[in-house]
């Protein structure tokens, strides 16, 4: 097996042991790997992470993103010898990351209290649907359910239809981001005290955290946010408008920006009209204002609309699809997409490491290990000092 490129980024001195599967936990691990940490993903022998097979038939590309930059080993966590491999790895790790249903690791003797006896500096990152405590803790939790409980699903979609969803597993990704944020905060605490701790990150609370003033609006005003399609009620103009060859978003709800929009669409006096001159007035007359802008946009191409808005200092943007991203000069200049080494998918482009750091930028070393247990022997001999013969014995017994 060819040697892997060196790790770069701000976290090269850290090691993460990643348990669990699918998205929420592994997305957190992806963030750590992108930033240079040594992420060792533990999968069950013979089957691996189910995400390896997710995607369009014949193109399981999702795995190549979530598993990028990680080393993958196998260990049967239902057997004592497999559990012991994790304990030995934890002794040399900074983080253990997992997204099993709460109680699963405790059943295997790998709960936080047990592992902190091995490594008091360990930071344990636990990602779940509902958390490690509370009456719902033992429930299985997926992103779709967490998005519903966190309040997001109810407000997504058109007002006259059942709630919609984003075309991505948003709740999982949010949980992974918050888990990484909590872990780095715990790392800062450890630098001051030498003590590790446990991070309890949930899908539903990750969604809840981005729900703005939804709860206090109900509490103090009796107001419940409803589905409103492509607009936010009373925030106008800010909508999707159709040109003759596509769609653009124009956002001009601030007074000064609205004045520039009025010039751009040939209605300069509109900015002084009492029906539209203030934020409250525009919100009250939102539909009529959107109709005027749509009438102006309908006969123009999206390139023309975009250029006119840019010249007048009005925020505007095409509604991008993947093809637009691949051909956009700003994407190219900022390397928002980058080509990632991959024997299976030569030339594959993925979203680049984000956020960008000026002094210690991260780098994607490869697009997801292909074979299950690809780095098992490497990790067990390098970190646990096992001999090739001992590794082969574990393999023969089904532990790895």
Query: For residue 44, how many C-alpha atoms fall within 13 Å in the half-sphere facing its CB?
Result: 11
What are the angstrom distances between the C-alpha of 205 and each of 200, 208, 233, 288? 10, 5, 25, 37
What are the angstrom distances between the C-alpha of 308 and each of 70, 266, 282, 315? 46, 11, 22, 11
At 379, phi and psi to the nearest 5? -70, -45
158: closest CA among 226, 249, 235, 248?
226
Residue tagged 């109680």 (tokens): 103
Conformation bin of residue 69: beta by default, left when phi > 0, alpha when psi is -120 to 50: left
Q: What share of the chain is helix, strand, coil (3-state, %, to 5)?
A: 40, 10, 45
Which residues, including other chains, have CB under 8 Å from residue 3's CB and lie 6 or more apart? none
Q: What positions carry a catalytic annotation?
A: 172
């Amino acid at each position: 097996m060819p040697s892997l490129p060196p790790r770069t980024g701000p976290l090269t001195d850290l090691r993460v042991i990643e348990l669990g599967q699918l998205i929420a936990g592994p997305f957190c691990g992806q963030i750590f790997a992108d930033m240079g940490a040594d992420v060792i993903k533990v999968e069950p022998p013979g089957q691996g992470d189910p995400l390896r097979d997710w995607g369009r038939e014949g193109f399981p590309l999702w795995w190549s993103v979530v598993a990028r930059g990680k080393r993958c080993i196998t260990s049967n966590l239902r057997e004592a010898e497999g559990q012991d491999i994790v304990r030995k790895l934890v002794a040399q790790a900074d983080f253990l990351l997992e997204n099993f249903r709460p109680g699963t690791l405790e059943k295997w003797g790998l709960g936080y209290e047990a592992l902190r006896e091995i490594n008091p500096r360990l930071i344990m990152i636990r990602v779940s649907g509902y958390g490690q405590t509370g009456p719902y803790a033992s429930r299985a939790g997926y992103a779709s359910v967490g998005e519903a409980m966190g309040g997001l699903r109810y407000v997504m979609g058109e007002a006259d239809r059942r709630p919609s969803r984003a075309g991505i597993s948003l709740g999982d990704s949010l949980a992974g981001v918050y888990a990484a944020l909590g872990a780095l905060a715990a790392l800062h605490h450890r630098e001051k005290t030498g003590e590790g701790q446990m991070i309890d990150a949930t899908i539903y609370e990750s969604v809840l955290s981005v729900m703005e003033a939804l709860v206090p609006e109900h509490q103090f005003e009796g107001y419940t946010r409803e589905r409103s399609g492509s607009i936010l009620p009373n925030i106008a103009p800010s909508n999707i408008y159709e040109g003759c060859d596509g769609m653009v978003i124009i956002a001009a709800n601030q007074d000064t920006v609205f004045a520039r929009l009025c010039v751009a669409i040939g209605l300069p006096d509109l900015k002084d009209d009492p029906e539209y001159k203030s934020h409250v007035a525009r919100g009250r007359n939102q539909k009529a204002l959107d109709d005027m802008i749509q009438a102006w946009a309908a006969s123009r191409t999206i390139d023309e609309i975009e250029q006119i808005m840019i010249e007048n200092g009005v925020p505007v943007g095409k509604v991008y699809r993947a093809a637009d991203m691949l051909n956009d000069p700003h994407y190219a200049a900022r390397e928002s997409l980058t080509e990632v080494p991959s024997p299976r998918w030569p030339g594959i482009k993925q979203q680049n490491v984000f956020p960008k750091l000026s002094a210690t930028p991260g780098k994607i070393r490869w697009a997801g290990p292909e074979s299950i247990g690809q780095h098992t022997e490497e990790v067990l001999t390098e970190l646990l000092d096992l001999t090739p013969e001992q590794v082969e014995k574990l393999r023969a017994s089904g532990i790895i």
